[in-house]
Amino acid sequence: MKAFLGTGLLGSNFVKAMRKRGEEVQVWNRTAAKAKALEEVGAKAFDNPADAVKGAFLVHLTLKDDASVNEVLEAARDGLAPGAVIIDHTTTSKDGAIQRTKEWKEKGFFYQHAPVFMGPVNALESSGFMLLSGDEALIGRIEPELQKMTGKILRFGSEVGKAAAMKLVGNAFLVCFTAGIRETLCLSKALGLSVTDLSSLFDAWNPGTLLQPRLKRMTAGDYTNPSWELAMARKDTGLFIDAAQKVETELTLLPVIASLMDSWIEKGYGNNDWTVIAKDCV
């Protein structure tokens, strides 16, 4: 028997996939109708977390944040079976994951943070990525069950909270990546280019292949052999901003990046590779 607390878009599809595999699942959600709807696929819905977890050895969570995880787990505590394993797929803080691991062990249970790079479709299809770190004996014990839920498990060693940190930096990249695409779309519009024009550029030139080489260059520590001087990159950034201003298109990221470049130029790095802007983060 498994329990699933939090049956929004991601959680509900995890449950549907479990039911397809013939697993018994008890569910709860703050909005009761979302849990009740899963009875159509054979899950059993409960009105409170404590009843939902009774008899379950594995208790899965997909909730909003640290506060909601703490609140729901406390509400479920009286129903937890001795030695039950709590598997939390919520994106939370690193400190929160560390604290819950310690606290729930002291209470006689196991807490394993297992954040995911998975959308609802991934949850239904058991694809995507699940991140794990911490007690390697515990992970080894539950990994066969977790493997059924995802396409690939990424293990980051025995450091508690490291999976939470890796999830956060991954999400930060996705946020910046999406905001960068938004900025590119705004500039394209300002320059009279269509989405089709932009798409055709990226069909021919895939900047995604630059990620690992750029990361290595930015973290190597030597910026004195430039492929693109900071001063020249700043000049081009000025052209981006000027083009947008001429048609009153608001840019969000590029003015901030220009200011960051200016600060490094003022420090005397104008002739260095422009990736020197990452020097203080390495």
Per-residue pLDDT of the chain (282 residues; tens, 9 = 90+): 999 999 999 999 999 999 999 999 999 999 999 999 999 999 999 999 999 999 999 999 999 999 999 999 999 999 999 999 999 999 999 999 999 999 999 999 999 999 999 999 999 999 999 999 999 999 999 999 999 999 999 999 999 999 999 999 999 999 999 999 999 999 999 999 999 999 999 999 999 999 999 999 999 999 999 999 999 999 999 999 999 999 999 999 999 999 999 999 999 999 999 999 999 999
pLDDT of 56 reads 98
pLDDT of 8 reads 96
Dihedrals phi, psi of 57, to nearest 5 degrees: -85, -35
d(CA 163, CA 91): 10
For the record, the structure tokens of 96 come out as 């929160």
Neighbours of 141 (CB within 10 A): 13
Instruction: Exactly one of 148, 167, 216, 246 is catalytic; name it.
Output: 167
Neighbours of 219 (CB within 10 A): 12
Task: Give the domains, in start order, of the chain with CATH numbers.
Answer: 2-160 (3.40.50.720), 166-278 (1.10.1040.10)
Tell me the DSSP string of the chain. -EEEE--SHHHHHHHHHHHHTT--EEEE-SSHHHHHGGGGGT-EE-SSHHHHTTT-SEEEE--SSHHHHHHHHHHHGGGPPTT-EEEE-S---HHHHHHHHHHHHHTT-EEEE--EE--HHHHHHT-SEEEE-S-HHHHHHHHHHHHTT-SEEEE--S-TTHHHHHHHHHHHHHHHHHHHHHHHHHHHHHTT--HHHHHHHHHH--GGGGHHHHHHHHHSS--SS-SSBHHHHHHHHHHHHHHHHHTTPPPSHHHHHHHHHHHHIIIIITTSBGGGGGGGG-
For the record, the structure tokens of 37 come out as 């709807």
Active-site residue flag, 216? no
Q: Which amino acid is at 29?
A: N
pLDDT of 42 reads 98
For the record, the structure tokens of 258 come out as 């220009």
Q: What pTM value is reported for the model?
A: 0.94
